[in-house]
Structure 1
Amino acid sequence: MSPAAGAATLVARRSSRFVTWVRAWRAGLVPYDELADQIAGDEEHLVADAPGAWTDLPLRDALSCFAKLSPDEIRLALPAPGDPRGLPGPGEFTGAALLAGEAVVARGLGVIPEVRSHTSGSGVTFETVLWRVYPLPQELPRNGHGEPGAAEAEAELSTALVEATTTLTRLDIAHWRPELAGALAALRRPDAGMDLPPGFDPRARRLFARAGILDQVLALAEHAAPGGAVNGYEVQQRDAALRPLTIACRRALVAACNAPLRA
């Protein structure tokens, strides 16, 4: 896999997959034995500080700590500086979640992924994911501090996308660094996106697919050269155009992953 194509895979929100599959399991829609493989894919996932454990556990052994929770008690949060929506309030977990930009928020515990890079003796670089568990209050605010429903989030995303596209076209944003084209091509593959597990309705699936691809493109754009924006003022214009779209994209992913499940 090329570095650019690999980047397209690595920026996907791991917490979104964690939340959706664990919620589907707690709704009785998928078996426990499938969870770890569906969440981890071809990565190695471990869990640190799991309740009652004295050492890091394989993901498969740690997911049982969610066994007493209902689907609605397990939620995705995608916070950002100045926008801690979905988090329980000041504390160690909230600080770590803001730094990571993603978290699993549940009754009694929160989980945040930490990606660790390793280099083998032969020089091959690979990554492992460590899910760190934090104790949280047994009672958390419902509906994620006013997070939107899927319909509202879909409308917000569509509006933000139209407005951002108009500005970015004028700024000639297509002249991103050449290797970005490989990543975007990888994202367009039919198997590039992540699908939701059983139980999510068509609107949530559509919103998740659309926002998931945009989320990866926006993450890649943060590391791209400014293209046609050749001076500081135009760079600021590009960033200003992307900011509302980034917020709408995060809200759309949260709305899709936290949507009510049905049998």
Structure 2
Amino acid sequence: MPAPPGQRSATLAAWARAWRAGLVSFDEVLDETTGGEEHLVLHPDGTEESLASALVVASRVAPDGIRVVLPTAGDPRGLPGPGPFSAAALVVGEGVVLGDGLGLVPEPEAAPGPGVPLDADDRWAGTRWLAHPLPASPVPPEPLTVAEADHDLTLAMTETIGALRRLDVARLPPELAKGLASLRGDDGGGPELPVGYGPRARRLSARATTIAAVLALASIDASGAAVNAYETGARDAALRPLATAARRARAAAINSPLE
């Protein structure tokens, strides 16, 4: 199962919030966020520093001032308003708000040029975060509680599964068919949230992360079992509301108050 879109920002936001609440150490934030890889932050003036150094600005930010955003075209929920941060976050579908003045967005992965093979040995095994100033008068985020997000996700799952039953899901690739079947099952898996998050937020995050990963797998094989344009469109229409609910649920779980 591939990592769902936005996982880098979700992980950074969750562990940074727990750190600012005094529940985990700064080293734990770095360990969980970087996984041993190099993470750099590029500022608008062209200067670059380590993620550890850049996070110093967050040492004065309250936990609730740190949040993840998982926007997409047509659904900019959570963004602080027009500006370079919001524009960049929309491109990659994720970002982290650090207080009132700074936002981090992971740099999109560069694709090889035409006819140029991508040699794994030549790739930099790390992440570059682009730092962007936030609007002087940010738009207040639209709050979505864990309970509301849980309800919306459950409703979207029920409607999506009903729509998929009317499609020929039996001929989906085995990995995707198995993933779709898991939507009916338990709370799912995915990276655990740090200490401080309540049981309901943990369950919601795990379930929404699993669903997002399944949908990411579905996007790899866009045709699925569809044999014509109508069936392709029908499957996409069935999955779209679930994708929206899963994104919103993941953000709601990560941004929920710590206990």
* TM-score computed with the length of structure 1 as normaliser: 0.84
Amino acid at match of 1:109: L
Distance 1:171 1:19 in 2: 38
Q: Which runs of 4+ in 1 moved over 6 A?
A: 118-122, 181-184
Aligned length: 249
Q: Is this contact kept in 1: 2:38–2:126, CA < 8 A?
A: yes
Match of 2:130 among 129, 132, 144: 132
Alpha-carbon spacing, 1:18–1:138, altered in 2? closer, same or farther (3 Å): farther
Asked if the contact 1:109/1:137 (under 8 Å) is kept, the reply is: no
Q: Flag the 1:122–1:250 CA change in 2: closer, same or farther, 3 A.
A: closer
- Output the CA distance in 2 between the equivalents of 1:138 and 1:25: 26
Question: Is residue 2:107 matched to residue 1:114?
Answer: yes
Among 9, 15, 18, the residue aligned to 1:21? 15
Question: Given the alignment, which residue of 169, 190, 193 partners 2:190?
Answer: 193
For residues 124 and 192 of structure 1, what CA distance do their matches in structure 2 show? 32
Quickly say closer, same or farther: Cα 1:139–1:73, change in 2 above 3 A: farther
User: Any idea what the Cα deviations from partners look like across 1:86-120, whole Å, max 9, x if unmatched?
Assistant: 11222222111111101112311111011446999
Task: Provide the residue aligned with 1:221 in structure 2.
Answer: 218
Match of 1:161 among 149, 157, 164: 157
Question: Who is 1:254 aligned against?
Answer: 251
- CA 1:70/1:134 → structure 2, altered by over 3 Å: closer, same or farther? same
Structure 1 residue runs of 5 or longer lacking an equivalent are: none
Q: Percent identity?
A: 47
The answer for the alignment partner of 1:83 in structure 2 is: 75
Query: Is the 1:77–1:103 Cα contact (8 Å) retained in structure 2?
Result: yes
Q: Please, which moves more after superposition, 240-249 or 214-223?
A: 214-223
Amino acid at match of 1:229: A
CA distance in structure 2 between the partners assigned to 1:76 and 1:99 by the alignment: 15
Inter-CA distance 202–139: structure 2 relative to 1 (3 Å threshold): farther
What are the within-5 Å matches in structure 2 for residues 64-79 of structure 1? 64-79=56-71
What SS does structure 1 have at the residue aligned with 2:236? helix
Return the offset for 1:32. 1.3
Change (3 A) 1:84 1:122: closer
Q: 1:227 to 1:65 in 2, by over 3 A?
A: same
Q: Please, what is the CA RMSD of the aligned residues?
A: 2.9
**Alpha-carbon offset, residue 21 of structure 1:** 0.5
| Alignment partners' CA distance in 2, 1:175 and 1:56 | 49
Aligned partner letter, 1:66: A
> Residue 81 of structure 2 contacts residue 138 of structure 2 at CA under 8 Å; is this kept in 1?
no
Q: Which amino acid aligns with 1:136?
A: L
Please tell me whether the aligned partners of residues 115 and 128 of structure 1 are also in contact (alpha carbons under 8 angstroms). no
Q: Which amino acid aligns with 1:242?
A: L
CA positional deviation for 1:44: 2.7
Q: For residues 41-80 of structure 1, what are the structure 2 equivalents within 5 Å?
A: 41-49=35-43, 55-80=47-72
Letter in 1 for 2:216: A
**What one-letter code is carried by the residue in structure 2 that aligns with 1:260?**
P
- Give the superposition deviation at 1:125: 4.9
- The within-5 A match list for 1:33-44 is 33-44=27-38
- Return the offset for 1:124: 6.2
Contact 2:189–2:209 (Cα < 8 Å) also in 1: no
Listed one character per residue, the Cα deviations across residues 31-78 of structure 1 (whole Å, up to 9, x for unaligned) are 11221111111433211118xx96322222221111111011111111
